[in-house]
Chains A and B, each alone.
Chain A
Amino acid sequence: MSDIVKLYAFRGSPYSCRPEIALKLKGVKYEFIQEDLKNKSADLIKYNPVNKKVPVLVHNGNPISESVVILEYIDEVWKGVPILPQDAYEKAQARFWARFVDDKCIPAVFKAMVSRGEEQAVAEAHVQMQFLENELKAKGKKFFGGDNVGLVDICASYMALWVGAAEEALGIKLMPKDKFPKLIEWSDNYINCPAVKDGLPPRETVVGIYKTL
């Protein structure tokens, strides 16, 4: 019996792209349903009554919400290219950094964007980004996941694409190369991975969204 996989998402959202990248990495066929965030579908509200947010993965009629929960689900159900490490301790480290990206990094960077690059906001964003920069330096690998893309890389898509798009749209500097050489190098490698390239929205789409901020 073949799987029916649907993804309710918004192309342009850094959270919606996460399951898309994971599904493409695993070679899973799915139907993409673009939501209008100002006029959410009855289906989305039915499948995610608690948060009413995208992304929602629906697998054979069963809904899974929350982007990181979805990533872990995809990794467990479809074998092949692994998203999480096998080792329990490495897995815990990956989960920790994924949380850090969501709880600290993205909010701080978003604040810096919304403030149009106000000095204090950018300084605070840099404090959080420095942790990721140090992690890449300490690991000494191409990706947070090592030689291949993993959970943390996928969660940090925001840093790889959305930050650059915001810089272009708003004429601000958020991730200077001299301060964050590892993050810049990682971004270039990451967005050029085939599955990632397919799963990310076009850069112009994100630039367009930020121009309306």
Chain B
Amino acid sequence: MADEVKLHGVTGSPFVCRAVIALNLKGINYEFVAEDFSNKSADLLKYNPVYKKVPVLLHNGNPILESLVIVEYIDEVWKGVPILPQDAYEKAQARFWAKFMDDKCDPAIFKVISSHGEEQAVAEAHEALQFLENELKVKGNKYFGGDNINLVDIAAISIAYWIGAAEEALGIEVLSKHKFPKLTEWSDNYVNCQAVKDSLPPIENLVAFLKKRFSKAE
């Protein structure tokens, strides 16, 4: 019996992108259901009544919510390319850093973008990014997952792609190469992984989306 997999999302969201990367890494066939923030579908509201947000993964009609919960679900259901480490301690480390992305990094990045690079917001984002820069330095690997991407790399997609797009859209600087050499190098490698490349919206589209969403009122 074939699996039916749908993903409700918007292409401008890094959280949706996390789920897309996981699906593509595993080679899963799925249908993408584009949502409109200003006019959410009845299905979305039915499947996610608590948050009313994307992404929502539907697997044979069963909804799974929250991007990192979705990624872990995908890893457990579909074998093949592993997203989480096997070892319990390494798994815990990966979950810690993924949570750090959710709790500290992504909110800080959002603040930078929505404030158009206001000084304090940038300083706070840099503080959060520095922990990840150090983690890459200490580990000395190509990716947070080692030789291959893992949960943390997937969680950190906003750093690798959304920051650059926002820098272009809003004329700000957030992730400078001299301050974050490891993160810059990691970003370049990461966005060129096939599964990731296949998952990213075209940069021009993202730049236009961010310009429109975060433009200051005239």
Interface residues of A (CB under 8 A from B): 50, 59, 62, 64-66, 68-70, 72-73, 76-77, 88-89, 91-92, 95-96, 99-100, 104, 131
User: Counting chain A CB atoms within 10 Å of each CB, which of B50, B73, B76, B96 scores highest?
Assistant: B96
Contacts of B131 in A (CB 8 A): 50
Task: Report the separation of the CA atoms of residues A50 and B93 in the bound assembly, to the nearest whole angstrom.
Answer: 12
Task: Report the separation of the CA atoms of residues A8 and B76 in the bound assembly, to the nearest whole angstrom.
Answer: 31
State whether B73 touches A92 (Cβ < 8 A): yes
**Dominant SS among interface residues on chain A:** helix
- Given A66-B95, A91-B73, A96-B69: A73 and B50 interface contact (C-beta under 8 Å): no
Contacts of B50 in A (CB 8 A): 100, 104, 131
Asked whether B40 is an interface residue with its Cβ less than 8 Å from the other chain, the reply is no
- Cross-chain pair count, CB within 8 angstroms: 55
Known pairs A50-B100, A59-B89, A95-B66 / 10 extra A-B pairs, C-beta < 8 Å: A65-B96, A73-B88, A88-B77, A91-B73, A92-B64, A95-B69, A95-B72, A96-B64, A96-B66, A131-B50
- Given A73-B89, A96-B69: A88 and B76 interface contact (C-beta under 8 Å): yes
Contacts of B92 in A (CB 8 A): 64, 69-70, 72-73
What's the tally of chain B residues with a CB closer than 8 Å to chain A?
A: 22
Contacts of A95 in B (CB 8 A): 66, 69, 72
Q: From B131, which residue of chain A is reached at the shortest CB distance?
A: A50
State whether A92 touches B88 (Cβ < 8 A): no
Asked whether B99 is an interface residue with its Cβ less than 8 Å from the other chain, the reply is yes
Contact with A along B8-50 (1 / 0, CB 8 A): 0000000000000000000000000000000000000000001
Asked whether B91 is an interface residue with its Cβ less than 8 Å from the other chain, the reply is yes
